[in-house]
């Protein structure tokens, strides 16, 4: 019985001091380095609580406008419609709801500049 209490105490101690899962930041480049009108990568899978940071590549200006999100998520609120012409612009979104999110670049949607985030 004493051994069982010792093992239980050890397990509780390990769990109490185990590091918490850290949210991650995933990078998506807007416009490839060779000037193609794409998001790199085009699709990203993230965990709830993770952030996606969009960084400027070439052939801008670019933006991030969501066209689809899980029920209850306002695409207007998470979109970054303002076009970016800065040297090192970024857009960030933290995803709290699981599901699929589709987005595009307003001036380059017709050229195929679309992306998808899957939140697990």
Active centre residues (catalytic): 62, 105, 108, 113
Cα three-residue angle 91-97-103, rounded to 5 degrees: 45
**Cα 45 to Cα 11: distance, rounded to the nearest angstrom:** 32
Interacting residues of 81 by C-beta distance below 8 A, sequence separation 6+: 63, 65, 106
Q: What does the block give as tokens for 2?
A: 């004493």
């Amino acid at each position: 019985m004493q051994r069982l209490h010792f093992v239980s105490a050890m397990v509780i101690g390990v769990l109490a001091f185990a590091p918490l899962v850290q949210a991650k930041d995933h990078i998506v480049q807007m416009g490839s380095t060779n000037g193609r009108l794409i998001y790199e990568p085009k699709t990203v899978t993230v965990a709830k609580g993770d952030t996606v940071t969009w960084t400027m590549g070439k052939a801008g200006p670019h933006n991030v406008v969501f066209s689809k999100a899980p029920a209850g998520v306002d695409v207007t609120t998470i979109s970054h419609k303002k076009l970016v012409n800065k040297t090192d612009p970024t857009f960030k979104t933290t995803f709290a709801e699981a599901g699929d999110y589709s987005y595009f670049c307003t001036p380059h949607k017709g050229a195929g500049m679309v992306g998808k985030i899957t939140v697990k």
